[in-house]
């Protein structure tokens, strides 16, 4: 017995066939603390956050390196008009690699307290907070977050502080010059096979990821607005 046409339609409705090309990657979001959320956009308008909870939070919308046509720009403009308010501002990150066609609709908008554009000069839009960044460094910082770097590591540019903890004090004490030994003996001790072996086996420090200055500026602005009770 052959299945009826109506039965086949019902199956397709309940269990739609999804083509692999239409599958979307998981949204790239990060918690920036104190109610600020980071959204990285790579495809417009698919990556624009649509959850109701996202509409009620200030956010950083990263459009750096985004490509798109006029339709993508129109979709972005409509999303911002619905989303950006004085209490839930959108901090928009752009650079020279952001497609001008995507940013064109925003250039005609009047200044808004709900939208702040941050970044390097772009042919499609003049930033409200203009930055001068080396393109290669900005790209490295942008890629570092996607490669697994923590938010703290790409935002924190404080130099590492030396800790005079107990282990360091013990080590310094052990390395004091011994009055009973001659300078030549001390030199021999410092470069003994045992000491050299300890240095070789010491863990190597990995290079810290570069600071994402554009994202850092957005976070600083958010904190300032909170301190002024604007949010």
Taken in order of first residue, the domains within the chain and their CATH numbers are 22-155+211-227 (3.90.226)
Residues with Cβ within 8 Å of 137's Cβ and at least 6 positions away in sequence, in order, are 210
Give the alpha-carbon dihedral of 112, 118, 120, 123, to 10 degrees. -30
pLDDT tens-digit profile of 22-78? Answer: 344 568 999 999 999 999 999 999 999 988 877 789 999 999 999 999 999 999 999
pTM value > 0.85: no
Average pLDDT in the 69-95 region?
95
Pick from 63-67, 69-73, 196-200, 202-206: least confident: 196-200
pLDDT tens-digit profile of 161-193? Answer: 434 444 444 454 445 455 455 444 444 444 445
* Confidence category of residue 135, pLDDT binned at 50, 70, 90: very high
């Amino acid at each position: 017995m052959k299945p009826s046409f109506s039965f086949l339609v019902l199956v397709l409705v309940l269990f739609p066939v999804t083509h692999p090309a239409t599958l979307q990657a998981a949204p790239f979001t990060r918690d920036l603390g104190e109610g600020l959320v980071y959204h990285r956009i790579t495809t417009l308008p698919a990556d624009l956050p649509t959850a109701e909870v996202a509409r009620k939070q200030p956010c950083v919308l990263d459009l750096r390196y985004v490509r798109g046509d006029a339709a993508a720009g129109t979709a972005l403009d409509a999303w911002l008009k619905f989303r950006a308010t004085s209490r839930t501002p959108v901090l928009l990150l752009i650079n020279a690699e952001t497609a001008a066609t995507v940013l064109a609709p925003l250039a005609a908008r009047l200044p808004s307290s709900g939208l702040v554009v941050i970044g390097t000069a772009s042919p499609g839009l003049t930033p409200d907070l203009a930055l001068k960044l080396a393109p290669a460094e900005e790209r490295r910082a942008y890629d570092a977050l996607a490669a697994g770097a923590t938010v703290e590591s790409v935002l924190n540019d404080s130099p590492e502080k030396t800790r005079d903890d107990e282990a360091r004090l013990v080590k310094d004490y052990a390395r004091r010059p011994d009055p009973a030994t001659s300078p030549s003996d001390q030199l021999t001790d410092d470069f003994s096979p045992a000491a050299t072996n300890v240095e070789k086996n010491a863990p190597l420090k990995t290079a810290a990821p570069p600071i994402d200055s554009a994202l850092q500026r957005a976070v600083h602005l958010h904190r300032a607005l909170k301190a002024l009770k604007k949010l």
